[in-house]
Every structure is written in C-alpha cells, then in structure tokens.
Structure 1
Amino acid sequence: MLFINTRPSNRAEKLSHALRMAHIEVLDLPLLELIARPWSEPLIELYQQLPATHVIVVVSPTAVEIGMAYLDQASITLDQLQHIQWIAVGETTAQALAQYGITATVPLVETSEGMLQLPVLQNLNPNQGIAFWRGEGGRQFMMEQLKQQGMQILNFILYERRCPLFTLQKRPEISVLLEKQSQYAMVVSSEASWLNWLELMQAYPHIIAKGDYFVLGERLYQVVSDYKKNHATCFNITRLSDLKTDSILQQIAAVQGNT
C-alpha cells in the first residue's frame, strides 16, 4: 500500500524512514508550509503583556522557534516567565520547549479537546490570562471555549499556513500516481491539511474516494466524516489520538490486514 506522508518537511523524516524500513511505499507530500509573520506593532503589544499571563499554549515546534526568537526581540527573558505554566500540543512541541529548559504539560490526546481536559486549564479562575503561540487559523475552537469561560486570551499569530508550492507543482504527477493505486493511506493532522488536500484533488473526486485517512482527534474525524456524508462518497476514516510513529504503523498494519 502507498502511504502519503503529509507532515511538514521538517517533521516528516522520522515517520517516512520508519515506513520504508517496514517495506511500505511512501510519498512525501507536505500539505502545510509554515511561514513566519514579520515582527510588528501588534506582536510588540502582545509580548509586553506576556509576563502578566498565567499559561502559554504552544501548538507546534514552529511556534516554539518563532515565539522564542520574538521573545528575544521583545527583550523578555525566560526568568521573567518562571511563574507561567506551559502547555504543548504534543510531545514533539514539548521536546522543542525542553531545549529552552521549559517543562511543558502535554495532553494524552494531542488535540484541542485533549488540551481542554488538562487540570491546569480546568483549575484556572475567570479573567486569568492564557497566551496562544500559534499559526493563522489554528486552535480557534480551543480559544473560543476558554473565552466563553471568562479567560483573557492573548492571541499570538506567529506564522501563516499554506499549501507548499512544491506540492502544487506536483499535482499532475501525483494524480497520475494515484490513478494507478487501488487504495492509499494518508495521515491528516489538521483541518487546514484536509482542506488543502481537497483543493489539490478537486478535479479528481474518485482519487479522494480511494483514500484511507488517519485523522488526528475527534473534531477532525467529524470534519472528514461530514465531507464523506455530504459528498456521498466511500472511504475509510481512522481516528488517531497522537501522531507517534508506532501508532501510525499499527494502523497501517490493521488496514493491510483488512485488504
């Protein structure tokens, strides 16, 4: 079976290597590219408020990289943030924070819903501050839920997300390859990735229907399920609780055992 690894290029290598070692054909096809937003007056104002907040939610290693660089630009030291509790959306983000000496809490389910279940968030008092280091369009559900609970949200949009030009240019080649496949598997880690895939394959609905989609979390599972229902198409959807290589390998083995 062909597996399409849609993770950003800098995060895809470990999974692709493990798949190839397991004799699984892999197509590296990133569906998201993360581009830093320039340093600006709105970001300056947000960073000035950061020492007064209580929690920082970091959604990706890219958010760590850009957020820390701009922390230096704002002349704020980590010593000034010692009282803050850090939350990382997943283990990879937590590892990126650990390089700065920060221990972050990670949810069991690496999604917005999983983070909302963390005691650190459930035990906050109304009007306490929560900062989000994120990309454009990400984690809006989580921020809205916390805002409704009376929390003060600092919304750091540190980068933009787009479908890589490299992927767009490969569309004809990809379609030819997938026409030859009776089935393929794909990991879908965000709604933005899913929407980019639909845009990429909009002229090939029969190719979309061949997919076996491994999606991260309940909300994304519902998004993909709604597409399946609304378009009266037939494909398999598997819900993932994390993006660990072993978890994905187990799901691929299960799919191959059913074919």
Structure 2
Amino acid sequence: MLFINTRPQDRAAALTNTLQHAGIQVLEIPLLELHARAWSADLAQCYAQLLNAQVIVVVSPSAVTMGMAWLDRAGLTIAQLESIQWVAVGQATANTLAEYGIRGVTPSVETSEGMLTLPCLEDLVAGSTVAFWRGEGGRQFMMQQLIERDIDILNFILYERQLPLLSAQSIQSYVSVLQASPRYCMLVTSEASWLNWLQLMQDHYDLLKRACFLVLGERLVNLVTQSRVQLALDYKIIQLEDLNPTHILQYVQQVQETP
C-alpha cells in the first residue's frame, strides 16, 4: 500500500516514520509551505489590542513561533498573556505552546468545528474578543461563526501558505509512482492543500480514482465529496477526527486489508 503524506516538510516525519515502521510505503508530497510575513502596521495594531482578548486561537506550530517572535517588537511579554485562554488546533500546536510555558486547550476533533465546541469559545458572550494567530486564508469559517455571535476578532495574519515549488516541479515523477500503484491512500488536512492537489493533478484526474483520501473533519469531507461529484470520479473518502499517526496507520491498514 502506498501512502501520500502531504504534511508540510517540517511536520511530516512523525507520520512517515510510524507508517514506514509498519511496512507502509510512503511518498512525501508537501502541499503547503509557510512563509512568514514581515512586521506591518496591521500586525502592530493587532498586538496593541492583544491584552483585550479573552481567547487566543493558534492554528499551527508555525503560528506559535511566528506569533511569539513579534512579542518583543510589540512591547509585550508572555507573562502579560497568562490570564488569556489559549486554544491550540491540535496536540502538535499545544506542544509548541508548552515550550513557551503556556498550556493550550485542544479539541477532541482537530478542526474549526471542534474548536468551536470548546467551552472557552462556546460560552463567550457578545462583545468578547478572540485573537487568531493564523496564516493567509486560514480559519475563515471559524471566524465567521464567531462574528455572527457578535464576537470581536483580532486577525493576526502571520504567514502565507503556498504550494511548494519542489512539489510542483516534481509532479511528473509523482504521476509515475501513482501510475505504478493500483491504489493508494492520501492525507488531506485543509482546503488549501486539497485545491493544490487538484491543481497538480489536473492532467491526471483518472489517477484520483485509485485513491482513498483520509480527510480531516466533516466540512473538508464535504468539499472533497463535492469535487468527486463535479469531476464525476469514484474515489473513497474516510473522515479523520485527528492527525494522530497511530490512528492514521489504523485506517491505512483497514484499507490495505479491504479487497
């Protein structure tokens, strides 16, 4: 069984190692890379209001490190943020927060929907403030849900997300591997990464029919399902609730054992 690990290069190792240890062939095709944004008037304005926030939502380990890097420039310290509740999208992000001495709560389902069910967000009253440490284009659904509840948003756009140039340049070699694979599993963790994959495969949509896509969260499953209808392709979709490598391995083994 071939597995395509689409995690960013700096976050792919744990999953790749777990699968390879179990005898699964892994092809790493990162579909997103992050580029930090420079200090700007918009960021300065957000940091100036940060102490007014009741909650800080951090969407990735990179968002943690990039957000922390600007604290000194903004005239703030971590100690000043101790009374604010931190929300981490998943355990990897929570672990990065812990390196700064901060305990972040994580949802059982590592998606925007999962985070919205956390009591610290679900119980907010109108007029409260939530800060988002995120990348360009990320977490639009979650922020919109909070805005509709009259929650004020501090929008920290700390980085941009792009399709890695190497992945785009290597597409023909990837296609050759897929053509030699009767079926494969692939991880899909965000709308941006899915759209990047469709872009890469636009001349080879027939190869999607060989796939079983392991997709994070219900909303993203709906998007991948819509693409299946629009492209008139029959591929399998399995919904993930988290990105735990052991859980992903279990799903891959189930697919492997299915005739």
Normalised by the size of structure 2, how large is the TM-score?
0.99
Q: 1:185 maps to what in 2?
A: 185
Q: Which amino acid aligns with 2:115?
A: M
Structure 1 residues 214-243: Cα deviation after superposition (integer angstroms, max 9, x where no partner) = 000000000001111122110000000000
Alignment of 1:139 with 2:139, yes or no, is yes
Q: Unaligned stretches of 5+ in structure 2?
A: none
Q: 2:248 maps to what in 1?
A: 248
List aligned pairs for 1:192-231, cutoff 5 A.
192-231=192-231
Q: Which amino acid aligns with 1:229?
A: V
Deviation at 1:176, TM superposition (A): 1.3
Deviation at 1:123, TM superposition (A): 1.2
Distance 1:99 1:203 in 2: 44
Secondary structure of 1:3 counterpart: strand
Structure 1 residues 58-117: Cα deviation after superposition (integer angstroms, max 9, x where no partner) = 000000010000112212001211210000000000000000110111001000000111
Distance 1:231 1:168 in 2: 21
Q: 1:109 maps to what in 2?
A: 109
Deviation at 1:181, TM superposition (A): 1.2
- After TM superposition, the structure 1 stretch with the greater mean CA deviation from structure 2, 95-104 or 73-82, is 73-82
Structure 1 residues 171-198: Cα deviation after superposition (integer angstroms, max 9, x where no partner) = 1111111111111110101011100000
List aligned pairs for 1:34-45, cutoff 5 A.
34-45=34-45
List aligned pairs for 1:1-259, cutoff 5 A.
1-259=1-259
> Identity of paired residues, percent?
51
Secondary structure of 2:70 counterpart: helix
Distance 2:72 2:166 in 1: 32
Aligned-residue RMSD, C-alpha: 0.7
Distance 1:32 1:15 in 2: 16
- Aligned pairs, how many? 259
Deviation at 1:124, TM superposition (A): 1.0
Secondary structure of 1:250 counterpart: helix
Normalised by the size of structure 1, how large is the TM-score?
0.99
- After TM superposition, the structure 1 stretch with the greater mean CA deviation from structure 2, 75-84 or 142-151, is 75-84
Deviation at 1:207, TM superposition (A): 1.1
Secondary structure of 2:157 counterpart: strand
Distance 2:82 2:64 in 1: 16
Distance 2:52 2:177 in 1: 53
User: Where does structure 1 differ by over 2 angstroms across 4 or more consecutive aligned residues?
Assistant: none
Deviation at 1:213, TM superposition (A): 0.2
Distance 1:104 1:177 in 2: 40
